[in-house]
Amino acid sequence: MADFIISLDADTLKKTVLKIIKESSSEIFKQIFNASTKIIFDNNEICFKILLFKYYIKLEKFPKFFCGEYHFSHNLPINMINYEKIPENIKISKNNFIIIIPENAFSKSFSINQISMVNNILNINLGSNYER
Amino acid sequence: MDGLIFKLDEQFINNYFLNLLKESKLEYFVKNLFIKINFNSFHIVFDFFLNKNFTKIDFELFLIEVPKRLFKDNFKLSYKGDKDLKKILEGITKIFLRVVPSINFEDDIMILSLEKAEFLEDKIKKIFEDFVIKQFLMDNGQIVVRSNFIN
């Protein structure tokens, strides 16, 4: 086996997202997405329960290697997002967004074997191949 | 489980460094690289082209310090060997400088700082800088890092 497994639980993701939002989103988004927001990983979806609203992000397509485009569908309220503060490698539209991981010696060395979101755990299983 | 967990095995690390050698077109100078993960140490063996011949290099790097935060503080490794070995090691690490530009030597200590590594975007490093290492296990061909987010 040549494996690199990254595991993340929903609570840790929430804390991480809160930090990103604190630095990159509008005041309204900061106010509604707070510590009381509930995040659930299941069935390969990330669900956000914010007040009475339920939002989701679903991974639709991922690249063969770690670098490349990750395509997601979503129902996020993107009108609340400050586009100027979004990193350049994130392209967002009404129902979709794409995260682009740039190619470098590190990211192009790994292939993605599997990405799963089950029972509140996100698992990313990376492989590394070497051909003589 | 909670937090962020990284698990990587010996074969993955070997393939990664072999690919780096291949990409750097330095396979000719470094052959038969094998990195073995033991309890808190890396046993590294390879053939190095030196003075028109291949010389077997065999040494062990011992983990002596694990950073409190993965992308903020330093890993420290010590190695045992003569001054010639140190010179060879410094030369070899230059191969990997693009990926780990933050390797430094202080006496017999190798210092590895992921904060300065160029393979991750600064914005991503900033996100991960609030993760503290709760547990670092290195043994029997595997490395496991468990970390938690601190507010």
Put simply, the answer to whether B5 touches A87 (Cβ < 8 Å) is no
Question: Which chain A residue's Cα is nearest to B11?
Answer: A2
- pLDDT-based confidence at residue B118 (cuts at 50, 70, 90): low
CB contact under 8 A, A128 and B121: no
Give the Cα separation of A33 and A18 in Å (integer).
Answer: 7
Instruction: Report ipTM for this prediction.
Output: 0.81
A116 CB neighbours in chain B (<8 A) are: none
Looking at beta carbons, which residues of chain A come within 8 Å of B19? 109, 128, 130
**Amino acid at the residue B121:** E
Interface of B with A in 102-141 (CB under 8 A): 118-121, 123, 127, 130
Where residue B117 falls among pLDDT bands split at 50, 70, 90?
low
Q: What is the mean pLDDT of chain B?
A: 83
Q: How far is B49 from chain A (nearest CA, A)?
A: 18
pLDDT tens digits, one per residue of B14-71: 988 888 788 777 778 889 999 999 999 999 899 988 788 998 888 888 999 999 988 8
Within 8 A by CB and 6+ apart from A39, the residues are A10, A11, A13, A14, A17, A46, A47, A48, A49
In the numeric block, the tokens 């950073």 are attached to B67
Q: Is B1 exposed, middle or buried (CB count within 10 Å of its CB: 0-12, 13-18, 19+)?
A: exposed
How far off is chain A from B24, nearest CA to CA, in Å?
10
The answer to whether the Cβ–Cβ distance between B9 and A2 falls below 8 Å is yes
Q: Looking at residue B147, what DSSP letter applies?
A: E
Q: Report the candidate in A64, A2, A91 with the shortest Cα–Cα distance to residue B19.
A: A2
**pTM, to two decimals:** 0.82
Residue ranges of chain A whose pLDDT lies below 50:
none
